[in-house]
Amino acid sequence: MIKQITLALVLTLSTIAGQASAETFTQAEYVAIFNGDDIDKQKQAIDSLVMAGLSEPKVFETLHAKFQKSLPLAVDNASIDYSAWLLKGLAYSGDDRYLHTFDDIITGNYPKKLKKYAKSSIPTLKQYKRWIPILSDKSRYEVSQTQEVNVIANALRSDELELKRYAAKRMINRSVYAPFLLSVLDSELKEPRLLKHEKLAINTYAYMAKALASAAKPEYRATLEHIAEHSSEQKLRRYARKYLKAYY
């Protein structure tokens, strides 16, 4: 439960800022953005790192250098917020090297907001250490699909419940309904191998069902109806009935 709360805290800024745009960037574009001075663009880029499937160290090295440069200037609300964004972005690297940066902020003479994000970034970094290899696994990428679609598909097929749930939320919040993703969702919902009588599992499959239903594609209605009638979990059956009513 604590891990779920801390992850939600770290992702809060990302969710708020990211709902308006689903833009993704190449490695060179990320480096150029973090070397530049466009703060809004940098926040957008950090938001996209959440599901970028990016493992290239150069991007995070550039981001880290920008964060270190911002620290002496973090003296008012706007500048502290900017440093917090940059700090938060480092957690999506999954790279243990940045644990020292978080520890330095926590133990140093820095604003409370930075300390808060440093503390909540530690479990997120550890989580992304597991997630990055999943998201960036190109052996499962479909050449006909975009990077974003392939990364989300990898997340949906994974054995990490929180990652599957976040991928489903990403689809809903950004209206990402590529046919390939919907087919992956359909397969995962037909064989819910991780579903058990436990809150996170039920909530994860509920969001996956909502993502499939919110696309409002008639070919997937039967899958949702099967969940509504035959799922082993009563709560999930109720969710599926709710989504059928809302979207069909």
Q: Which of 71, 67, 58 is nearest to 32 (CA)?
A: 58
Read off the pLDDT of residues 81-93 as tens digits, 9 standing for 90 and up. 999 999 999 999 9
Residue 12 has pLDDT above 60, yes or no: no
pLDDT band at 153 (very low <50, low <70, confident <90, very high): very high
Stretch 140-152: mean pLDDT, rounded? 95
Residue 121 has pLDDT above 80, yes or no: yes
pTM of the model: 0.84
Residue 178 has pLDDT above 50, yes or no: yes
Name which residue leads in pLDDT, 3 or 41: 41
Tokens 């109806």, residue located: 225
Stretch 180-187: mean pLDDT, rounded? 98
Residue 245 has pLDDT above 90, yes or no: yes
Angle at CA of residue 123, ends 127 and 200, nearest 5°: 65
Q: Kindly list the distances between the CA atom of residue 228 and the CA atoms of 117, 164, 206, in Å, as whole numbers in the listed order.
A: 40, 20, 11
Q: What are phi and psi of 46, to 5 degrees?
A: -65, -40
Length of the chain: 248
Residue 80, C-beta contacts closer than 8 angstroms, at least 6 positions apart: 74, 111, 113, 114
Write out the two tokens for 26.
């190449």
Stretch 180-184: mean pLDDT, rounded? 98
C-beta of residue 28 within 8 angstroms of C-beta of residue 59: no
Tokens 């550890």, residue located: 126
Read off the pLDDT of residues 20-69 as tens digits, 9 standing for 90 and up. 344 679 999 999 999 999 999 999 999 999 999 888 899 999 999 999 99
Q: Kindly list the distances between the CA atom of residue 193 and the CA atoms of 43, 160, 198, 216, in Å, as whole numbers in the listed order.
A: 36, 11, 13, 24
Residue 11 has pLDDT above 90, yes or no: no
Contacts 24+ apart (CB under 8 A), 112-116: 113/80, 113/81, 113/84, 114/74, 114/80, 114/83, 114/84, 114/87
pLDDT of residue 56: 87
Distance CA 150, CA 112 (A): 38
Q: Which of 77, 65, 89, 63 is nearest to 113 (CA)?
A: 77
Name which residue leads in pLDDT, 53 or 10: 53
Q: Which of 13, 62, 71, 58 is nearest to 34 (CA)?
A: 62
Residue 223 has pLDDT above 60, yes or no: yes
Stretch 214-237: mean pLDDT, rounded? 98
Read off the pLDDT of residues 13-25 as tens digits, 9 standing for 90 and up. 343 333 334 467 9
Residue 218 has pLDDT above 90, yes or no: yes
